[in-house]
A and B are shown apart, each in its own frame.
Chain A
């Protein structure tokens, strides 16, 4: 089943913070986060493999609560380059490496 992302869209001013949530009705064994800019391929941000794991680089970080079957992506002091659509994905199952993605969160950063 497809993860559910919220919010669907966010408009921020440069320098503001944002949180994007991803939840699932089925067990999440890993969560993958991607960002896609218009007309481009999704770009890998990070993968969280264990419940409670937190990761981050620069001003983008994420947490994974396995028990609650949810993950959150945190964007701190957002920059114009953070604009795009953010997707969370979870394994499609069957031991395969494919992912089932949420519908995405559109993030617009204004100067």
Chain B
């Protein structure tokens, strides 16, 4: 079974631009969550989607947004990029059934803002 796939793996953007990152979950997984990882702040929860609906959102500004498609694939967008947005962005998927669900991470997208 293929794992969580994220694209692109590496990208460099200029301040003020916007970026879209893509995530394909493990087949059959219906929940997709996104995280930002930086050396200073660690691994921070951005948002989680299930059946095309955002169920929860972390403490990030509105410049960070996401969506989920009917096939469970997800995208996240960051507008008006700032230098501090440079980070590893991780996508994770899970079955989203009842009870605690194991969450599996993709390899991540490394974003550098210059």
A binds B: yes
Q: Is the CB of A98 within 8 A of B45?
A: yes
Q: Is the CB of B100 within 8 A of A47?
A: yes
User: Given A41-B90, A41-B106, are A92 and B99 also a contact pair (CB < 8 Å)?
Assistant: no
Q: Is the CB of A101 within 8 A of B50?
A: no
Size category of the A interface is: 20 to 34
Q: Is the CB of B104 within 8 A of A44?
A: yes
Contact of B99 among A49, A98, A100, A103 (CB under 8 A): A49
- Does B61 make an interface contact (CB < 8 A)? no
- Taken together as a complex, chains A and B put the C-alpha atoms of A42 and B4 apart, in Å, by 12
- Does A94 make an interface contact (CB < 8 A)? yes
Total contacts A to B, CB within 8 angstroms?
A: 77
Contact of B42 among A47, A94, A104 (CB under 8 A): A104
- Does A24 make an interface contact (CB < 8 A)? no
- Taken together as a complex, chains A and B put the C-alpha atoms of A40 and B99 apart, in Å, by 28
A-B contact pairs, 30 of them (CB 8 A): A29-B100, A30-B100, A32-B100, A40-B107, A41-B105, A41-B106, A41-B107, A41-B108, A42-B43, A44-B104, A47-B100, A87-B42, A92-B45, A93-B56, A94-B55, A95-B55, A96-B33, A97-B33, A97-B96, A97-B101, A97-B103, A98-B47, A98-B48, A98-B55, A98-B92, A98-B103, A99-B33, A101-B35, A101-B44, A104-B43
Chain A residues near B (Cβ < 8 Å): 29-30, 32, 34, 40-44, 47, 49, 87, 89, 91-104
